[in-house]
Amino acid sequence: MTILAIETSCDETSVAIIKNNQILSNVISSQISLHQKYGGVVPELAARAHSENISYVLSSAIKDAKIDLAEVDYIAYTSTPGLVSCLHVGKVVADTIATYLKKPLIPCNHLFGHIYASLIDNQWEFPVLGLLVSGGHTQLVYLKEHLKFEILGQTLDDAVGECYDKVGRMLGLAYPGGPEIDKLAKSGQSTYQLPLPKNDKTLDFSFSGLKSAAAKVIQQEKGQLNVANFSCSLQKTIVQTLINKLTLAIEQYQPKTVVLAGGVSANSELRANFLNLKQKYPNLNFIVPKLEYCTDNAAMIGILSSYQIKAK
């Protein structure tokens, strides 16, 4: 079974070819440099860039996979959630290819794709608990079986990636702020006091209070702020918040597999702390996707679609 998968939900144009759950190609064209001067993604510019880049990305994916387009059995694409104008580009291209080849079209959920990225080079044992962390979402997801998603908790305000980016902007860092803060944190020390969210027993997240506290410190310190130390303090607070909630979910739901997913799963501090949980829970399988499958990519959409096809 050969699947051509398309991802255009935000600021990465990606096409992948999957054959029997093996990644033959996964081509990604990033728009970060396009949006940096605006400090964030501009939907109109993103959609236009997808339209301009998709043809090259598509042909590159087919070439890298060393297949003929006629060999494709299914066309998968990200249908939701995402920027509407960006999603539309991927849908139109997928629809066109499916019509031309007379092959089935498989719409996929972008967030579920991130969770399923962990199945690239890995296997699950159910039940599965997933911590999904990205620029737009922060969720704890539970699966008793394939494609049966239950959201246990989610952010009540800012997503974790959004918090990183907004504080990064306050610090005058390049967009996206998350990777910049991660780099700076490695050379700093946690010397600034930032509040952990209230230690409640729910599985929901809140980062607006931390963002406000960070803004207050930055304003008070003005030109005296040690940016590396502040980045380290912020990052440790964010990661501790995520790990605390994940630990609570593990205790409550007793999964056999725990997955870290989404763009923020590329964060070095979070990856290290997540994998350190193995010491506390040695009988659980902790999975973090390779860095190339953490950010938005079509390979994860292809893998997700393969399970959707099997379930039909």
Per the annotation, where are the binding residues for substrate?
A: 132-136, 165, 178, 182, 267
Whether the CA torsion 85, 292, 135, 116 is positive or negative: it is: positive
> Which region holds residue 121: left if phi is over 0, alpha if psi is between -120 and 50, else beta?
left
- Token reading at 53: 């880049």
Q: Please enumerate, by residue number, every residue annotated as part of a binding site.
A: 110, 114, 132-136, 165, 178, 182, 267, 296
* Both tokens assigned to 270: 């979070």
Question: How open is the CA angle 204-206-210, to the nearest 5 degrees?
Answer: 155
Residue that has been written with the tokens 């030109």 in this structure: 223
Residue 205 is given by DSSP the state: B
| Interatomic CA distance for residues 238 and 270, integer angstroms | 9
Which residues make up each annotated binding site for Fe cation? 110, 114, 296
For the chain, the maximum distance between any two Cα atoms, rounded to a whole number of angstroms, is 63
Angle between helices 227-253 and 208-221 (to 10 degrees): 170
